[in-house]
Chains A and B, each alone.
Chain A
């Protein structure tokens, strides 16, 4: 694993070298949210039939929306607030929260046909930005004085993550704010679609004595500025998900994976 300066990022491209882990859905999880961002060249409303777009929203969300919303963008929340979808003039944004989010495949199978339909209606034929991120929260309680927060961090996060974060884990002082690191790479060494993998981990306390709180981990794969057709772009998102899966395993301690497995 190698981290680069901004200048190096622009000059260098490499394949991610996380250990590849066969995909599986674990019986237990601490995943909270999945965010998907798809950017495209701004749609030109002159070429869009408002009636078609209105019908699209009616069919997929059973909702009537105003012409102004159709033109300027509209978003929907599910009643249980587990899903939020935004259709904007230059981007789509989807947030799917646990437990509605069960797996990437279920998200893909449900939403991608809707996206393709939407792109067809608004005349979008290419994508210029893709970002996929997953946010995890792990509640914890320290029930004795022998175990410190530092001990817990070592139990939850991988050694690589803690070392590369470059903060003084023993002093713990800088851990009150999230630590963010990123790594540029590609899905494969001959891949033209450069991207950035980043992870951000942090800590939120519930009590002043640091005996309970939440450990957080957000992993993201973001494309650079791209120009790809719809089909290739959507396929690329599956590759991003694979990187996030491998990256998650790189970020957390094997003991946590074992707990998630049973």
Chain B
């Protein structure tokens, strides 16, 4: 399968993990966090699953033919098809250079291709308006919220998932910003958002950390205006966002450090993923029958397959109990 339209010139940045020259500083979290924190979707990464801490928020093992109409899996891998890897570009650090540029240059993450696997990172893969939600997932936002709260408490020693409780714990010395964990978590590391793309389900809270010694702000802009906000983030502070379902990606930016940009998306169902290091994604327990799949790139341009795939989605037929493997989906400029 070949994907044609990444119409703009996409510029690569490498999420190369040797990026941070740490010197004698404590090992920088950039190296660990990218591995540690699963893309905050419903789909568990191998790591989190191995930790055996799954709650209902994430997909359990697929049941064969669970539900009346049956359920199946869709998977695929988005890979770079260009003759050579896209040229790496660095962002111009125009403010707080000492801190922001202190661990080396900040890569432009508009298009990130892993140099080993040629996988394209940070692509949103999701279904549009699925007909049903598998019983293993919470059925609605309320269910998601309960599961999310429970999971957060488990990850953080019983801490309540509210901005007030977290702030109180931090100022009381009972929690440290850098050690907080959440399935949906945005960290700010040397004036860079980690991860660069995030997807959440409505009801799931998003934890934003500023463990840095400098202030940031997070301006969330959405096409619909439903999730717009612009709080400041003093050093050592956290923010908790409660996003509602939106049909277009959200933009997150720091107005102070204009180069800091990332994007996110919110769904009212669990069938979404953000491609990781090898460009692969897997949507488990999707309702059998015809579903609409969207692959969306960082520049808010819908990835189109053969010129047909739009934000409305590409029709894919899923048979009960089977896995639809889309194989390598080749992306070129």
A and B are partners in one complex rather than unrelated chains: no
Q: Which residues of B contact A (CB under 8 A)?
A: none
Q: Which residues of A contact B (CB under 8 A)?
A: none
